């Protein structure tokens, strides 16, 4: 038996999949970790924590591999995008990584726009400057921690730090690099003009390549640390959303993907860069060579429900997602007037506001646990609809829509989303998202498939389809109009320091 391993460096944990050469999942392992919030709006993690989790996950997978490490033909990587790893000249981590959901860099975003110009920024990178992106994080380091900036020799993204630990190579791929604001997305290469305008030394950036490319081999030191065989190929992989799209069959123009993970994403492939002059949506390179994708992103989707669970657990230690789901199912659609704005860590699409915060609106003595849970689920669905509407306005093709992520495993939440966006949603028999996509990219990289599209076509199968409920759809159409009115009414009240 021969295998590949897909590794996903997530926000709440690192997940590994052991996948056979014909695309079947043989084993899975997840190692969880926490996040640090030094100040409101800040979010950090220790990259060495990711490496420790990756080592442990790989070790557990190798225990399940027939033939052990010698049977593993390649490793593929994916992970949270934008999160910035700063290394010194000895390749030591300088400080905790600033994560994708960190909102401290609005001033740096404003300075990027002032230095480059909004229109030129869109021309160069296909995107606007957002607090989650990598470039403003680097500028923040330069301005706020100059001693650390002087030590900086390498800038890596989350999955690429694991690649470095495995291979000693500094490499990223075009899909992950698209979220740095340093990539010329249309030409799939670093933008010399952006680096020059922002006075960034290009030597700190990793080499950029396509997602199925071989990027190095496991070193003897990494083999000793992980149990992998020395010399095992490591394939580039992709950012979590692009890899997740591969793992869900969104590998050509036409299909789209809605993901309810920690963040919420609406993703559609395109044959060319689809650049909105106002950059209301992200336009990134796909993990499929020769493709791009359009993406709407909300920062706290499943993260909102997780926050609610953790908060309520202080009073009810046994509370879990199954109990929350059952409580929400007992409440009518619309949560009897209770609305939730899911902006716990600011928001991207459609508001691009790092100062925005979460809100429960319409609370009364009638509302209980089920109402709180259901309003969070519905608020996330309304946030996803914001992106779907923008994509429709932009002419994005959404012929088939898949639903993925941890939140998609809830039949109730899936029905809420389908009824809100007004689209039938297909769920796959295998829903392992980014880690499975990383494994398919690894199989492609070693020649098991001719490309990611063939890999997805041969391996993936539909489990079920969730149709919109007409009665719920009518309720949500009215509730969504109230939801849309809340942010403009509160926008001037949100305080960046709150």
- Catalytic center residues: 240
Q: CA nearest 442: which of 162, 233, 245? A: 233
Burial 347-365 (b: 16+ CB within 10 A, else e): bbbbbbbbbbbbbbbbeee
Q: DSSP character for 68?
A: G
Beta strand 233-239 with 72-79 is: parallel
Residue found by looking up tokens 């700190």 in the block: 204
CB 172 within 8 A of CB 157: yes
- Four-point Cα dihedral 281, 284, 286, 291, nearest 10: 90
d(CA 217, CA 9): 19
Pairing of strands 183-184, 97-98: unpaired
Closest CA to 261 of 234, 239, 294: 239
Q: Output DSSP code: residue 280.
A: -
- CA nearest to 16, candidates 84, 65, 67, 70: 65
Q: What is the dihedral of CA 480, 482, 487, 492, to 10 degrees?
A: 170
Beta-bridge partners for 90: none
For 188, what's the count of Cα atoms within 13 Å in the CB-facing half-sphere?
Answer: 17
Pairing, β 264-270 against β 425-428: unpaired
């Amino acid at each position: 038996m021969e295998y590949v391993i897909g590794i996903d460096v997530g926000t709440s944990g690192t997940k590994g999949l052991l996948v056979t050469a014909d695309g079947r999942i043989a084993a899975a392992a997840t190692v969880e970790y926490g996040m640090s919030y030094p100040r409101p709006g800040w979010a950090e993690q220790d990259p060495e924590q990711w490496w420790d989790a990756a080592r442990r996950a790989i070790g557990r997978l190798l225990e399940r591999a027939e033939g052990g490490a010698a049977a593993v033909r390649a490793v593929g990587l994916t992970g949270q995008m934008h999160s910035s790893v700063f290394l010194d000249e000895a390749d030591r981590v300088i400080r905790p990584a600033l994560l994708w959901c960190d909102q401290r860099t609005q001033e740096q975003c404003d300075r990027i726009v002032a230095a480059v110009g909004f229109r030129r920024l869109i021309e160069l990178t296909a995107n606007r400057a957002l607090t989650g992106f990598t470039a403003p994080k680097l500028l923040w380091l330069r301005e706020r921690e100059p001693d650390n900036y002087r030590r900086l020799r390498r800038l890596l993204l989350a999955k690429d730090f694991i690649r470095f630990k495995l291979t000693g190579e500094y490499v990223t791929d075009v899909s992950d690099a698209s979220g740095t604001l340093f990539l010329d997305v249309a030409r799939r290469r670093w933008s010399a003009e952006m680096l020059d305008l922002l006075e960034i030394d290009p030597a700190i950036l990793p080499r950029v390549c396509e997602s199925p490319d071989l990027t190095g081999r496991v070193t003897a030191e990494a083999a000793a640390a992980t149990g992998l065989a020395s010399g095992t190929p490591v394939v580039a992989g992709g950012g979590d959303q692009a890899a997740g799209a591969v793992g869900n069959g969104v590998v050509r123009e036409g299909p789209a993907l809605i993901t309810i993970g920690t963040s919420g994403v609406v993703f559609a492939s395109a044959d060319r860069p689809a650049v909105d002059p106002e950059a209301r949506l992200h336009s990134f390179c796909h993990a499929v060579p020769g493709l791009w994708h359009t993406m709407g992103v909300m920062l706290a989707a499943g993260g909102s429900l997780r926050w609610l669970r953790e908060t309520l657990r202080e009073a009810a230690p046994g509370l879990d997602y199954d109990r929350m789901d059952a409580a929400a199912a007992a409440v009518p659609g619309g949560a009897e007037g209770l609305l939730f704005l899911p902006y716990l860590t600011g928001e991207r699409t459609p508001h691009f506001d790092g100062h925005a915060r979460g809100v429960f609106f319409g609370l009364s003595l009638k509302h209980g646990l089920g109402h709180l849970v259901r309003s969070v689920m519905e608020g996330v669905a309304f946030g996803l609809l914001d992106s779907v509407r923008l994509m429709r306005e932009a002419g994005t093709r959404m012929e088939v829509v898949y639903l993925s992520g941890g939140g998609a495993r809830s039949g109730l939440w899936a029905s809420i989303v389908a009824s809100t966006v007004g689209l039938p949603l297909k769920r796959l028999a295998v829903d392992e998202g980014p880690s499975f996509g990383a494994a398919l990219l690894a199989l492609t990289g070693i020649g098991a498939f001719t490309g990611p599209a063939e890999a997805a076509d041969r391996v993936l199968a539909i489990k079920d389809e969730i149709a919109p409920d007409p009665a719920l759809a009518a309720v949500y159409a009215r509730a969504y109009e109230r939801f849309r009115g809340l942010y403009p009414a509160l926008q001037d009240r949100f305080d960046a320091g709150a």
